[in-house]
Structure formats: C-alpha cells, structure tokens
C-alpha cells in the first residue's frame, strides 16, 4: 500500500509535467507561426510551408498533452478513491506501476494503451465508491458507542483533577517549573512547597494520565521532588503539627533553597533516568545561587533518587535487587545512532524549524494566557475549559482514526496492545496505536518503528494535532507539563524528515531524525540546551549522539530567542513575579541607588516601644526594617540629630519577640531564654501580627532591638550604580539592601522588586529596557 501511494504521488507529479509540456508546445507553436509569417514576407514559400507544418504539429502535441493530463488526473483521483476503500488488486497495482514508469519517459502512445487497460480494470470503481460510502457510514455508526464510552472515561478523571486544582490547591497547577524557578531565585511563593500541594499534584497527574490529556508527568515530578526535599530538610510538618526536633540547622531560607535544588534534580533523575541531566537542569533552569558544595550534594540526591527508583521497579517487575531498569520515561535502545558529516546541515535545519515552531508556540500561548486572564476568570469556567479540552482531544483522536484508515498487518506492532479499530482481521489501526497509549509510548513508537508502520498522512495529521493540542492544553488548570508533549510533537515531524531522507537513502535510520526533531521542538519551547542534551544522551544511552543534539538544541535556542522568550520565562513575566535575570540590564550604568531605592524607609530605633512595633507591623507588610540610632552633634550639625544605621531586623524576628514577650521590664525580661532555636521553631510559618495577644500594659514597654538585629547588614552608598547593586544582590541571594548617604544615614532601601522592574526585552535582534509592575501572587 505504501508503494501505491508513492506511485500515486508520481502520477500527480506527472500531471503537472504534462501541463508544463503542453505550455511548452504552445510557445513553440507561436514561435513557428512567427517564423512562417516572416518567411511569407520574404517570399520564401517553401520555408513558410515547413514552419507552418511545425506549428500544426506543435498544436497537435499540445492538445495531446492536455488530453493526457486530464486522463492521468482522473486516473489519479480514482486510484486515490480505491486506496481509501482498500480495493486495489495486485493486477491494478501492476498497471499503475507500469504507468508510473511510462510517465518518466513521457511516451504518450504507451501511456495511452496503459490508460485503456487501467480503465477496463476499473469499470467497477463507481460501485466501489458506493461501497466505500456505505462502509464509512457503518464504521461511523459502530464508533458512536466506543466514542461515548471513551468520552465519559476521560471526562470523569479530568473533572476530578481540575476541581482539585481550582478549588483545593491552585499552586498544583501545571508543571510547577516556573514557580520552582522563582523560589530558587529567592522569591517567596506562597503554598508552593506544602504537603497539600504535593498530594493534589500527585492525584492531578494521575487524573491527567487517565483523562488522556496532553500533559506530561515529568514536569510535575520536578515540583514534587522539590516539595519532598523541602519537607525533609525541615524535620517537621506544619500540616500535621508534628516536630521531630531534628535538622533544625536547615531551617533557613538559603538552606531550604539548596534542598529544593536537589529535589528538582532528583525529580528529573527519576523521570528520565538521568542523574547528571538532573544536576545540570537544576543548574541551568533552577538554582540562582550555586556553589561547589551544592554541586556534589545535588548529584548525591540524584544518585539516591535513581537507586530508589531502580529498586522499586525491580521489585515491581518481580526481580528484587535488579537495578538495570530505566527511568519512568524509557526511550528504548537505539541500535544504530551513527551519522555522517553530511547530516549536520540537516540537523541545523531541523534546529531552525524547532526554534521557529517553538517561538510560535510561546507567542500563541502568550495570547492564550492573556485570553484566560480576561475571560476564564471564574472557577467554574476554569473547570469547564479543562472539560472542553478533554472532549476535543477525544473527538479529534476518533475523527483521525475514522478518516485515515491506516491499517497494517499484525507483525509491525508499534504497541504491546494492538487495536483493530475498523480494520480487517489480522490488521491493526496505526493511527489508533499512536493515540491510545501514554505519550511516552507514542514517543517510543515514533523513535523506533520501521518506516512502513505509519503512513505519511498519518504522521502529518498526528503531528499537526499534537502541536495545537499541546499549545491549547498547556496553561489550563490541570497538573501536567510540556516536556513529553513537546518531545512527542517534535518526534512526529522529525520522523517525516527521516522518511524524506529514507526515500533517497534507503539505509537511513529514521529514528535519528525523529530524536533530533523531538530535541529541537522541546528546545525551541523551553530553550534548554546543556541539561536537555545530557538528559537525552542518558535516556538513549549513546554518548556518540551528543554532538547532533548539541547542534540542534543550540540552533533552536538561538532562533527561538531571536523571536521570543522561553515558555517558562513568558509565564513568569505574565505572573508578575520579580525574577532576577543572570545579568543586569544593559546600558543601566547611569542609574544609581538614589534613583532606584524606595524611600522614605520605615525604621525602628535601637530601643523601640512595643506599641510602635505592633502598629508598624499591622500597617506595613515589609519583611525587613533598618534599625537606627539618633545621635546629636551640636558642633557639626547645628543641633540637628543624625539617624545613623545600626543594623537590620526582620519581620519574623519581631513576631517571635512579641510572641515571647521579650520586653524591657521587671516581670517580662526573658532575654536568657531566647536562643537561635527560638527563632527556628516557627519557621517557615510565623504567626500573623493580628494573632498575637498583648495586654495594654505590654504596649507601653520597650524592646532592645540591638540584641537581636543583624549589626552588619549589606549596605551600599547612594552613588552606587545599578549593575553593581544587581551583581551583589544576585551573588549573595539578598532580599533587600540598605542605601546610606555619605554620613551613614539611612537614605532608602532596595528590594528585588526595585531591581526586577527593569526588564530586558530582546526581540528580532533589538534590545530594549522597560519598567514592569509586579503582583504579590502567582497564578
């Protein structure tokens, strides 16, 4: 059947060639007529007669080409109908093959005789067309019940998963990678790493798989790994109000961030079976503050994750102690990943395609995000959108299976569970094999199945639908990522490239091009380069194929960055989170701290009244407050007091001091009972200032803040430039820097929102800096 399709393509091409020959004869006819006219004018009648005969001959030849073009076009249409009904006999196929050969020589007499033979053999084609219509109608009737059952079985888990996200824990939405990236950048994202978020995430991923949605579980595993790591590092559970009294040393923001980095890497290691890839992913896409110790700790966490997963998989498959099982996503083993230097330009072109389609994906998803913000703003609308996407996915899959009729003999099996789905006995439906399995299995089929398993039209339709379903699905309220859908989409069009190369070079392994297409597509969407290269190398088990992956991924990133930002950066920007980039904004050296800082600053004196502290904390939501001391120098300052900076105290510290009533007084002096452990007990959820109960007499007392403040906070002069402040902020992982003037007086304070509001936009080779507004939450 695949050979007939090739012959059919050649026949359609021959129609165009016949039309071109007809036009060529018409031009030659006009030329001969012109020569005839000139010969008559010169009185050379013999030459005029010869040119006239040539003109008549060219006219006749042109008409013959046109008539033959029409006949061949009609034959091609009838062959297409016969292929659709699968009623092409071997003798008919032989005639079409002979016609294909005759077309290459443009022998009109031989073509004409073959046309007569063809038409004799296809006298019953009209009957067959009627039979095809009846068969399609019967097949459609037979698919109604399976369609309704599949629709119901997909809608129920999708409804459960979306309701959990919308009504129980919205932070479990999507892959969670953008939120984890913000957390590792130093942003406090509420409810990101809570146990409830983990439970909803796990159930949501299961609902996505059961509901047939186009979402991968690999992205959510990164989020889940981060939650597990953050929870283990604290040695307690605020959800169950249980404190084990262990690991108190790690109850700090920067320690928790390090654990979350390791958890994200462990999630990648478990998903792809790639511990080194997980480490590099955490470095490339996640952690903002990296050091040598964190490198080996993260790698150790990835190693433990791999060991645990292999142990569980070995026991699950009935072979306890067998540690040779792959990760949750198994690409399968490539028998031959050899390539030639002539393949490099093809890989570069595939990288360009991946970058262009990835940039288009990000731009269209940006429009969808804005549309959802404006119109899908009610909880019931969010759930309804998930159900509509789910129903559309099921409907598209059934329509493609119904109208493609890509049936293959059993033996070319792309899946362990064959689906007949309208095919004859002893056959399976190739399109159904692509749709009715997990996306990981679909990717594996596109990588490893032989060229004759899927028709070209099957792969084309599947690839187009995969692209737009991934585009629409990513961003709805469900727990699913873009990693595997992106790989699946790229594997589809990469297989088409492989089939094109296979047509000219039959010894080509099309799985190579499918793998490069998958890498290019995902690289164009996420702009991952180093980590994705190593992940795919580890997942395929072939280090020799690292160079083509590097080439296509770097090309996809360069092309994609020329048009848009990555999908993760786009989501972060639209969410209004103050993410700090790796480098300060260009051309910002003329912006100084006094232009950047927030002022006036809310400050406390070294000895402050409880009433003023409570009032300030209730009025403002700031996290840090400079501590000052008024000093009066009558000789130099004409009697005006100066407020010199003495330190910095955090909001959480003030809450703890108020809760423990560490006040100056004969009955409330608990200085000796306050230790570092006191401040770590309530971390990370400190009480609200509204929940603290104080007596009226307590408000009149004072607190000596000099005992608990940080006496040496990071400070900058008001004349320091933005790039220098940015680098200090980024390198040290700070949340605020106090700005002082030449006299060491507090002039202002710089927070990450002050720095992150200067956003660098790169588009179409142009760079601009704009000022953004930020929200206090992430959706």
* 250 has a pLDDT exceeding 80: no
Is 506 or 625 the better-scoring residue by pLDDT? 625
Strands (E), 616-698: 624-632, 641-650
Mean per-residue pLDDT of the chain:
81
Q: Which range has the worst mean pLDDT, 211-215, 218-222, 247-251, 380-384?
A: 247-251
As a whole number, mean pLDDT of residues 461-477 equals 93
**Is the pLDDT at 466 greater than 70, yes or no?**
yes
> For residue 728, how many other CB atoms are within 10 A of its CB?
15
CA proximity to 60, closest of 32, 29, 39: 29
Residue 756 has pLDDT above 70, yes or no: yes
Q: What is the mean pLDDT of residues 139-161?
A: 83
- Residue 382 structure tokens: 């969010």
Q: Is the pLDDT of residue 215 over 70?
A: yes
Give percent of the chain above pLDDT 90. 21
Q: What is the pLDDT of residue 778?
A: 41
The contacts of residue 565 (CB under 8 Å, 6+ apart) are: 362, 527, 573, 762
Question: What integer pLDDT is reported at residue 6 of this predicted model?
Answer: 66
Q: What is the pTM of this model?
A: 0.75
pLDDT score of 113 more than 70: no
Give the model's pLDDT for residue 273. Answer: 82
**Is pLDDT above 80 for 327?**
no
| Whole-number pLDDT of residue 670 | 56
- What pLDDT shows up at residue 112? 60
What pLDDT, on the 0 to 100 scale, is given for residue 361?
95
In this prediction, residue 131 carries a pLDDT of 46
Torsion sign over Cα 114, 115, 120, 123 = positive
- Residue 81 CB partners (closer than 8 Å, separation 6+): 125, 128, 129, 132
Q: Determine the Cα–Cα distance for residues 601 and 597; give it in Å rounded to an integer.
A: 10
The answer, yes or no, to whether the previous bond of 701 is cis (omega within 30 of 0) is: no
* Residue 728 in this model has a pLDDT that exceeds 60: yes
Q: Which residues, in sequence order, are CB contacts of 678 under 8 Å at separation 6+?
A: 656, 660
For the cut 80, the answer to whether the pLDDT of residue 473 exceeds it is yes
Q: How far apart are the C-alpha atoms of 269 and 24, rounded to whole Å?
A: 64
| Percent over 70 (pLDDT), the chain | 82
The tokens 């998930």 sit on which residue? 386
Quick one: which of 387, 476, 338 has its CA closest to 156? 387
User: What pLDDT shows up at residue 129?
Assistant: 46
Q: Which helix (H) or strand (E) holds 493?
A: helix 483-504
Closest CA to 632 of 624, 641, 619: 641
More confidently predicted of 125 and 723 = 723
Return the SS3 of 734. coil
Give the phi and the psi of residue 604 in degrees, each rounded to 5. Answer: -125, 150
The CA-CA-CA angle for residues 730, 733, 737, to 5°, reads 85
Q: Which of 100-104, 150-154, 383-387 has the lowest mean pLDDT?
A: 100-104
On the question of pLDDT at 114 being above 60, the answer is no
Is the pLDDT confidence value at 748 over 60?
Answer: yes
pLDDT at 492: 94
Least confident stretch, 118-127, 295-304, 375-384: 118-127
pLDDT the model gives residue 377: 87
Average the pLDDT over 388-413 and give the result. Answer: 84
pLDDT-based confidence at residue 288 (cuts at 50, 70, 90): low
Residue 633 has pLDDT above 80, yes or no: no
pLDDT at 452 over 70: yes
Q: Which of 647, 650, 670 is nearest to 659 (CA)?
A: 670
Confidence class for position 776, pLDDT limits 50, 70, 90: very low
For residue 351, the model assigns a pLDDT of 95
Residues 619-643: what's their mean pLDDT? 74
Q: Which of 137-141, 163-167, 687-691, 760-764 has the highest mean pLDDT?
A: 163-167
Average pLDDT score over residue span 714-732: 87
Query: Has residue 144 got a pLDDT over 90?
Result: no
**What's the pLDDT at 777?**
46
Which residues are paired to 721 by β-bridges?
592
pLDDT band at 591 (very low <50, low <70, confident <90, very high): confident
Rounded mean pLDDT of 201-215? 89
In this model, does residue 497 exceed pLDDT 70? yes
Query: How far is 362 from 375, CA to CA, in rounded Å?
Result: 20
Q: Work out the pLDDT band at 418, boundaries 50, 70, 90.
A: confident
Ranking 234-243, 277-286, 485-494, 579-588 by mean pLDDT, the lowest is 234-243
Split at pLDDT 50, 70, 90, the class of 141 is low
CA 528, 530, 533, 537 dihedral sign is negative
CB 484 within 8 A of CB 216: yes
Q: Among 39, 383, 96, which Cα is nearest to 211's?
A: 383
Q: Is the pLDDT of residue 159 over 90?
A: yes
- Average of per-residue pLDDT across 270-275: 85
Tokens of 740: 């002082």
CA distance 777 to 779: 7
Instruction: Report pLDDT for 164.
Output: 93
């Amino acid at each position: 059947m695949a050979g007939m399709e090739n012959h059919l393509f050649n026949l359609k091409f021959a129609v165009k060639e016949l039309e071109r020959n007809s036009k060529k004869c018409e031009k030659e006819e006009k030329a001969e007529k012109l020569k005839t006219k000139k010969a008559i004018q010169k009185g050379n009648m013999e030459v005029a007669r010869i040119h006239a005969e040539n003109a008549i001959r060219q006219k006749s030849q042109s008409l013959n080409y046109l008539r033959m073009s029409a006949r061949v076009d009609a034959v091609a249409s009838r062959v297409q109908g016969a292929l659709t009904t699968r009623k092409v006999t071997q003798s008919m196929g032989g005639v079409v093959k002979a016609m294909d050969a005759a077309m290459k020589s443009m022998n009109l007499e031989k073509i004409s005789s073959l046309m007569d033979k063809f038409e004799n053999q296809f006298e019953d084609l009209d009957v067959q067309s009627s039979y095809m219509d009846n068969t399609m109608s019967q097949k459609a009737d037979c698919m109604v019940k399976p369609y309704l059952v599949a629709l119901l079985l997909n809608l129920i888990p999708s409804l459960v998963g979306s309701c959990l996200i919308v009504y129980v824990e919205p932070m479990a939405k999507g892959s969670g990678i953008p939120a984890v990236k913000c957390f590792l950048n130093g942003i406090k994202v509420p409810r990101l790493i809570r146990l409830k978020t983990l439970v909803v995430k796990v159930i949501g991923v299961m609902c996505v798989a059961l509901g047939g949605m186009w979402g991968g579980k690999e992205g959510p595993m990164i989020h889940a790994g981060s939650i597990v790591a953050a929870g283990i590092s604290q040695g307690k559970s605020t959800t169950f109000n249980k404190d084990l009294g262990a690991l108190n040393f790690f109850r700090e923001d920067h320690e928790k961030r390090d654990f979350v980095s390791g958890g994200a890497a462990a999630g990648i290691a478990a998903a792809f079976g790639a511990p080194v890839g997980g480490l590099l992913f955490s470095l490339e896409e996640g952690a903002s503050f990296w050091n040598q110790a964190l490198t080996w700790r993260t790698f150790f966490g990835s190693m433990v994750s791999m060991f645990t997963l292999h142990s569980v998989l070995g026991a699950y498959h009935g072979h306890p102690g067998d540690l040779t099982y792959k990760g949750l996503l198994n690409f399968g083993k490539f028998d031959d990943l050899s390539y030639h230097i002539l393949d490099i330009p093809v890989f570069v072109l595939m990288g360009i395609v991946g970058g262009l389609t990835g940039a288009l994906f990000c731009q269209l998803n940006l429009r969808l995000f804005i549309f959802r913000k404006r119109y899908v703003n009610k909880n019931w609308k969010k759930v309804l959108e998930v159900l509509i996407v789910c129903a559309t996915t099921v409907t598209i899959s059934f329509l493609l299976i119904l109208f493609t009729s890509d049936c293959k003999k059993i033996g070319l099996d792309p899946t362990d569970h064959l689906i007949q789905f309208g095919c004859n006995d002893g056959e399976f439906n190739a399109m159904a094999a692509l749709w009715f399995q997990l996306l990981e299995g679909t990717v594996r089929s596109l990588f490893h199945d032989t060229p004759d398993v899927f028709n070209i039209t099957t792969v084309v339709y599947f690839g187009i639908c995969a692209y737009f379903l991934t585009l629409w699905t990513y961003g709805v309220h469900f727990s699913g990522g873009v990693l595997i859908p992106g790989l699946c989409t790229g594997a589809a069009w990469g297989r088409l490239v492989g089939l094109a190369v296979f047509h000219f070079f039959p010894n080509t392994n099309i799985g190579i091009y499918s793998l490069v297409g998958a890498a290019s597509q995902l690289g164009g969407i996420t702009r991952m380069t180093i980590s994705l290269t190593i992940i795919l190398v580890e997942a395929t088990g072939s280090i020799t194929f690292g160079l083509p992956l590097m080439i296509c991924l770097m090309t996809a990133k360069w092309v994609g960055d020329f048009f848009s930002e990555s999908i993760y950066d786009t989501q972060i920007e639209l969410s209004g989170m103050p993410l700090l980039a790796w480098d300060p904004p260009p051309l910002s050296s003329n912006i100084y701290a006094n232009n950047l800082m927030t002022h006036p600053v809310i400050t406390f004196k070294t000895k402050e009244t409880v009433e003023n502290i409570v009032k300030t904390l209730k009025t403002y939501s700031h996290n840090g407050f400079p501590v000052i001391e008024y000093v009066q120098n009558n000789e130099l300052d004409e009697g005006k007091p100066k407020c010199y900076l003495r330190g910095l105290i955090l909001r959480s510290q003030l809450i703890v001091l108020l809760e423990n009533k560490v006040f100056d007084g004969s009955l409330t002096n608990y200085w000796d009972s306050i230790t570092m452990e006191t401040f770590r007990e309530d971390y990370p959820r400190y009480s609200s200032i509204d929940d603290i109960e104080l007596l009226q007499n307590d408000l009149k007392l004072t607190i000596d803040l000099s005992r608990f403040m940080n006496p040496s906070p990071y400070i900058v002069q008001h004349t320091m430039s933005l790039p220098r402040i940015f680098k200090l902020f980024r390198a040290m992982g700070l949340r605020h820097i106090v700005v002082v003037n030449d006299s060491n007086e507090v002039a202002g304070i710089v927070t990450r929102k002050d720095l992150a509001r200067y956003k660098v936009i790169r588009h179409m080779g142009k760079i601009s800096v704009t000022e953004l507004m930020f929200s206090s939450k992430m959706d």
